[in-house]
Structure 1
């Protein structure tokens, strides 16, 4: 089978053989995906089916425990793992005939995902059985449809047997939302789209237009660029747009509030510098000072079609920046932030961060750990470090407050590491290079590496943990102190489904006259 990965072997196949190989591999991919989801469904069942009421009300319930196991094993985020578990559970418990078609490789994982989502509101067992039978026969044709048409084809059967379960398009007001980011976005920019109430849209439009008129005529930006920057200024809490004309006498000039809201943490990289500056090798290793403010004038205004070569020539050189939580800031935009008022702070070297005699780390220590790791250090998790708890790998007070014993963990994985511990729990070992070795309750091990070392391979930091203290860790029933929910996960889910069904049913009623 692996000979098909050889380019030379592929080149020897006939056209017909290539098509045969594509068909075979597509079906095999579906079969493997079905088997994978069947295994995930069994993992969910073992953690959730016999769960008692006390466990179901804990923040780390059976579902969360299963999510951690699936997330680590599949290298998925917590949300992605939970979504896979929902699909697996639906195939096992709600749609066995669709699951059988999937297991034969007749439909794709994408089609199955759509089916499980569009049938999620069906609560009547008899209606669900009829829908399952109908979809098992029709779903083999859905792969050639667009996503919208596939949803419509599935909704036909849901509408026939359980009209209140159709995920209907509510009123436009109920659909309002704002979305940020698209996979095709270039680095340094993020697309925004969504739906607002008409009154809110008018307010924002008038405010943006007013702010764009507040700069002088020498501002190099286009009207569209000014509106875009004005929205960012609102996000920074400003009610005006800073002019970019560069003239000291301009009343609208000054420090840009958008840049003032940005803090740039400098690790071991040099700050941006002019691409035309001539430096010796020794000078190139010296970090640039705040007084050096190179800028790329071509990020504003319209491109000059007659000067295409100059538009391709970089005006600023250096290393890009990374936004905590995701996104890359290219060098020209980084230089613009620094030139217009962003704060630049050097991250403290780990050798200067000694063990601290208290539980809560200092600001310098917390900043170093967050910049070193950038994300939660649990396998598969991508929650930004500044949205995580700083956890003592060896619990305090036996473990010191020291960079070699601290790592960011999102609240969920912090609770798992704290409460799901011991012989049948998760174990976490932190190494001098900042990496972690996690051992799952099943004995499987997973390695996580500080994200800064992946983004900046030349940068390493040695942060060995200080000797452990002799203070023993108290042995108590940790579950007695675990946060609990007011409603179980299943109760909340049932309430959401019933609420959506009720709203759908209300739409079918004629309006009062």
Structure 2
């Protein structure tokens, strides 16, 4: 069921180009300030409290019972102005203390809800790095912290990494089921003798560069990287794209591609019969995901690998030839949330152009335009053509090639004709002024100036005959120095 809250969040996300979680959070905060804490909202509008303070208060009071909200807000309004210099922790403790005074059960509910919302997220960071954030119970967090430190210390004193770096490597080893060992590089290192994965023993250690082990569940991690063939082979240095992360540099592309399985992604050449099937082929699906990179709804950043491939014009299962073909300009990546908003009639409409541009129309009538992100990074993923269109384009190119020389000469002749007429008018103008100044003596006293003897010549016609031709075009390089 799509609620009014869901519809509002989608419209806010499109208008502000925000991902869905951020848009939902803004709508939730606005609703709370309007219905639960209107006095705090008035202070925010007047600039007497900052947004971060308001966001903290809303987060810590969202489970307080409605019957005591008025009492809580009155206490908040008395004290919130004095919290301007509080740190985040001091502010959180102050709000929690107030909540405990008016509704002790809300504190218990917060703990239960917080545990239910435990999660791990990975976000892109600059310079080819990523940030891993996790939320878990306090005891589990303390145990993980102790475990990482214990693993990081099980190397010899010659290991070149800092403790912080070794903890990061230990976290990766625990997560991927890989071995963890010393990187000193010495043959006699006692911590480089064993090759037991960290996931199997508490203090396993391995050589500096052990082979990758499979995950304990028997599943392999698959990373999808899109890059040009020139970058992969070392002939170019254009950036690549790691799906789920973002842009990566050429050196990292080549490092990841060294032992990877490679597939060619290009605009697929399809026949009309292939367009009449509902499911896109593997090649077409790879092309669509590489072209779009993310969900095509405005502001959405869900990676294309986690999106559905949807027909912009619905596929006609009863008569496929009637419309909704499975072709690149009728397919796009939508995350499940925005796919639902389009499928269930919520007022959103999408229209896709032949170059992959999608025009979204909101229930309010506002229009938002999104372009495929992959085309900007990889121009080879541009518009795809069917066989008939490819033949038409090839014939047009041959026809233009045959007429290229004639077209080039016509452009040169037209430009020279314009210059010739302009020069004749300029010279005739000087002749007229010379005649005006000299009068009847102009013919008996010709000009002797080395720069203006053309005034002695008769007036030239200022129109050219149809058979006029310019002098032969000089194809010499104008920047070539003369032979001194």
**Shorter-normalised TM range:** 0.5 to 0.7
**Structure 1 residues 224 and 98: alpha-carbon distance in aligned structure 2, compared to 1, 3 A threshold:** closer
Specify the alignment match of 2:302 in structure 1: 383
Name which of structure 1's ranges 381-390 and 412-421 shifts more when overlaid on structure 2. Answer: 412-421
Pairwise CA distance, 1:406: 0.6
**Structure 1 residues 141 and 451: alpha-carbon distance in aligned structure 2, compared to 1, 3 A threshold:** farther
Specify the alignment match of 1:486 in structure 2: none
Cα displacement string for residues 55-102 of structure 1 (whole angstroms, at most 9, x for unaligned residues) = xxx2x2222122211111122111111111111111111112212222
**Structure 1 residues 457 and 112: alpha-carbon distance in aligned structure 2, compared to 1, 3 A threshold:** farther
Specify the alignment match of 2:397 in structure 1: none
Equivalent pair of 2:63/2:110 in contact (CA under 8 Å): no
1:445-484 alignment, distance < 5 Å: 445-454=367-376, 456=377, 461-463=382-384
Whether 1:401 and 2:326 are equivalent positions in the alignment is yes
1:435-446 alignment, distance < 5 Å: 435-446=357-368
| One of 4, 24, 48 as aligned partner of 1:82 | 24
**Structure 1 residues 460 and 141: alpha-carbon distance in aligned structure 2, compared to 1, 3 A threshold:** farther
Specify the alignment match of 1:271 in structure 2: 231
Specify the alignment match of 1:499 in structure 2: none
SS at match of 1:270: helix
CA distance in 2 between partners of 1:182 and 1:243 (Å): 28
- State TM-score, norm by structure 1: 0.58
Specify the alignment match of 1:348 in structure 2: 266
Whether 1:364 and 2:283 are equivalent positions in the alignment is yes
Name which of structure 1's ranges 93-102 and 236-245 shifts more when overlaid on structure 2. Answer: 236-245
Equivalent pair of 2:148/2:167 in contact (CA under 8 Å): no
Pairwise CA distance, 1:343: 2.2
Whether 1:137 and 2:78 are equivalent positions in the alignment is yes
CA distance in 2 between partners of 1:222 and 1:100 (Å): 50
Whether 1:164 and 2:105 are equivalent positions in the alignment is yes
Cα displacement string for residues 441-485 of structure 1 (whole angstroms, at most 9, x for unaligned residues) = 11100011222245x275651147999xxxxxxxxxxxxxxxxxx
**Structure 1 residues 235 and 348: alpha-carbon distance in aligned structure 2, compared to 1, 3 A threshold:** farther
Specify the alignment match of 2:452 in structure 1: none
- State TM-score, norm by structure 2: 0.61
SS at match of 2:129: coil
1:181-330 alignment, distance < 5 Å: 186-191=127-132, 196=140, 228-229=168-169, 231-232=171-172, 235-236=175-176, 256=212, 261-268=221-228, 270-272=230-232, 284=235, 318-330=237-249
Cα displacement string for residues 193-249 of structure 1 (whole angstroms, at most 9, x for unaligned residues) = 666377777878888889x89xxxx9998898677556545545556889998x9xx
The unaligned stretches of length 5 or more in structure 1 are 1-57, 275-283, 286-317, 468-513
1:481-492 alignment, distance < 5 Å: none
Name which of structure 1's ranges 320-329 and 376-385 shifts more when overlaid on structure 2. Answer: 320-329
CA distance in 1 between partners of 2:117 and 2:142 (Å): 10
Cα displacement string for residues 356-406 of structure 1 (whole angstroms, at most 9, x for unaligned residues) = 332111211111111111111111211111111110001112311111111
CA distance in 2 between partners of 1:393 and 1:242 (Å): 54
Equivalent pair of 1:369/1:406 in contact (CA under 8 Å): yes
Equivalent pair of 2:9/2:24 in contact (CA under 8 Å): yes
Specify the alignment match of 1:67 in structure 2: 9
SS at match of 2:230: coil
Whether 1:155 and 2:96 are equivalent positions in the alignment is yes
Q: In the comparison of the two structures, how many residue pairs are matched?
A: 354
**Structure 1 residues 257 and 449: alpha-carbon distance in aligned structure 2, compared to 1, 3 A threshold:** farther
> Larger Rg: 1 or 2?
2
Equivalent pair of 2:152/2:170 in contact (CA under 8 Å): yes
CA distance in 1 between partners of 2:87 and 2:231 (Å): 47
**Structure 1 residues 137 and 233: alpha-carbon distance in aligned structure 2, compared to 1, 3 A threshold:** closer
CA distance in 2 between partners of 1:244 and 1:462 (Å): 52
Equivalent pair of 1:369/1:408 in contact (CA under 8 Å): yes
SS at match of 1:391: strand
**Structure 1 residues 186 and 444: alpha-carbon distance in aligned structure 2, compared to 1, 3 A threshold:** same
CA distance in 2 between partners of 1:183 and 1:338 (Å): 20
Name which of structure 1's ranges 63-72 and 220-229 shifts more when overlaid on structure 2. Answer: 220-229
Specify the alignment match of 1:291 in structure 2: none
The unaligned stretches of length 5 or more in structure 2 are 188-192, 196-206, 317-322, 389-484
Pairwise CA distance, 1:346: 2.1
CA distance in 2 between partners of 1:130 and 1:142 (Å): 19
CA distance in 2 between partners of 1:384 and 1:244 (Å): 38
Specify the alignment match of 2:44 in structure 1: 102
Pairwise CA distance, 1:147: 1.5
**Structure 1 residues 263 and 345: alpha-carbon distance in aligned structure 2, compared to 1, 3 A threshold:** farther
What CA RMSD, in Å, does the superposition of the two structures yield over aligned residues? 4.2
CA distance in 2 between partners of 1:221 and 1:342 (Å): 27
